[in-house]
């Protein structure tokens, strides 16, 4: 291994004896300070094993000298955040819904808070922008099954509809076909009558008189004489352009035959009162509020 000690003439450095295509490798060790730093980092890391949670055990893990945990850190930070928000949220909780909408600062806070909470809790059904879907009301428009005033929206969010809560909105679309109240042809006729109410085209050979009679006998109790609906009962207005489940004949026949009873959960108890308030203001400010 004599080559190992060959001295490179240009640099005066010993070579390692390795040579590729005439290019020789110089034996240039890492600087001492670098090596020492490297070993120091290893020693330092051992400190971490001891001081911090590091080693997984069968059912748990080592907790470290100080019992440090990033989860506890998060809890502390969240608590701090709540403290920072505290005053504002207290103010929000104390103000009435109308006052909140009149105060630009409170409105901005309510909308910001409401939007976040809406995204977490309401978006799965109503869509992230409240645009709704079939069976899930659009919250941007002005058709409100249970009322669209601030108070009514708050009430709906708090107790829901058909949610099982004692104060929930009750009232469902009856299943006229399934229950044998109406025959198949009668259902088609009244479905066409309802389409005519909101200015939609009607099917061939549809008997308007018969439709009016069936409607008067079965539907006016909830939807009213003119089909304008009743928010107390959650009966939708049948004369406008907005249809929760769809306005084509087949869908209406389905609705009349089997009924509808969508559920809106109650949020009281799940969200704190000021958050629900913020949510109500947010939904109202989406633009459809009355």
> Least CB distance from residue 239 to other proteins, whole Å?
9
> Least CB distance from residue 15 to other proteins, whole Å?
8
Interface pick for other proteins out of 89, 92, 95, 107 (rule CB under 8 A): 107
Chain residues 172-231 in contact with other proteins, contact rule CB under 8 A: none
The nearer residue to other proteins, 97 or 271, going by C-beta atoms, is 97
Interface pick for other proteins out of 29, 56, 67, 104 (rule CB under 8 A): 104
- Name the DSSP letter for residue 128: T
Q: Would you count residue 242 as binding other proteins (CB under 8 A)?
A: yes
* 258 CB-near residues (< 8 Å, 6+ apart): 175, 177, 178
Count of chain residues binding other proteins (CB under 8 A):
34
Q: Would you count residue 31 as binding other proteins (CB under 8 A)?
A: no
Interface pick for other proteins out of 86, 124, 203, 287 (rule CB under 8 A): 287
Distance CA 275, CA 93 (A): 8
Q: One symbol per residue from 136 to 165: x for binding other proteins (CB under 8 A), - otherwise; what is it?
A: --x-xxxx----------------------
- Residue 15, SS3 per DSSP: strand
169 is known to lie in a ligand binding site: no
C-alpha atoms less than 13 angstroms from C-alpha of 21 in its C-beta half-sphere: 0
Q: Would you count residue 279 as binding other proteins (CB under 8 A)?
A: no
> Least CB distance from residue 289 to other proteins, whole Å?
9
The C-alpha angle 193, 228, 168, rounded to 5 degrees, equals: 115
Chain residues 109-138 in contact with other proteins, contact rule CB under 8 A: 111, 127-131, 138
Q: Are 107 and 100 in contact (CB under 8 A)?
A: yes
Q: Would you count residue 70 as binding other proteins (CB under 8 A)?
A: no
Dihedral sign (CA 159, 118, 126, 200): positive
The nearer residue to other proteins, 187 or 278, going by C-beta atoms, is 278
Q: Would you count residue 29 as binding other proteins (CB under 8 A)?
A: no
Two tokens, residue 120: 């977490």
Q: Would you count residue 259 as binding other proteins (CB under 8 A)?
A: no
Window of 105-113, 164-172, 180-188, 250-258 that interacts with other proteins by CB under 8 A = 105-113
223 is known to lie in a ligand binding site: yes
Residue 100: CB atoms within 10 Å = 24
1 is known to lie in a ligand binding site: no
Distance CA 234, CA 212 (A): 22
Query: What are the residue ranges of helices labelled H in the chain?
Result: 32-51, 70-94, 97-102, 104-121, 123-126, 150-159, 184-197, 208-218, 220-223, 249-258, 273-285
DSSP code string of 130-147: S--BTTB--SSSS--SS-
Residues annotated in the binding site for heme c, as ranges?
Answer: 122, 125-126, 173, 219, 222-223, 264
Q: Which residues bind other proteins (CB under 8 A)?
A: 3, 6, 9-11, 17, 19, 21-22, 24, 101-102, 104, 107-108, 111, 127-131, 138, 140-143, 237, 240-242, 285-288
């Amino acid at each position: 291994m004599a080559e190992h000690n060959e001295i490179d003439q240009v640099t005066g450095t010993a070579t390692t004896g390795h040579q590729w295509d005439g290019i020789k490798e110089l034996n240039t060790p890492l600087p001492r300070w670098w090596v020492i730093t490297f070993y120091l980092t290893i020693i330092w890391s051992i400190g971490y094993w001891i001081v911090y949670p590091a080693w997984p055990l069968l059912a748990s893990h080592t907790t470290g000298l100080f019992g440090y945990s990033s989860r506890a850190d998060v809890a502390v930070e969240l608590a701090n955040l709540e403290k920072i928000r505290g005053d504002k949220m207290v103010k929000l909780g104390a103000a009435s819904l109308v006052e909140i909408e009149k105060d630009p600062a409170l409105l901005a806070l309510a909308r910001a808070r409401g939007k976040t909470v809406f995204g977490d809790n309401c978006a799965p059904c109503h869509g992230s922008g409240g645009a709704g879907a079939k069976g899930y009301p659009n919250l941007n428009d002005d058709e409100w099954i249970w009322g669209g005033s601030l108070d009514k929206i708050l009430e709906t969010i708090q107790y829901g509809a058909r949610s099982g809560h004692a104060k929930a909105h009750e009232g469902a679309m009856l299943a006229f076909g399934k229950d044998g109240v109406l025959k198949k042809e009668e259902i088609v006729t009244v479905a066409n009558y309802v389409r005519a109410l909101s200015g939609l085209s009607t099917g061939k050979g549809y008997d308007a008189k018969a439709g009016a009679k069936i409607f008067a006998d079965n539907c006016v109790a909830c939807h009213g004489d003119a089909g304008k609906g009743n928010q107390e009962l959650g009966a939708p207005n049948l004369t406008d352009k907005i249809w929760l489940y769809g306005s084509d004949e087949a869908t209406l026949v389905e609705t009349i035959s089997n009924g509808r009873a969508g559920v809106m959960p109650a949020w009281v108890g799940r969200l704190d009162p000021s958050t629900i308030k913020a949510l109500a203001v947010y939904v109202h400010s989406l633009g459809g509020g009355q």
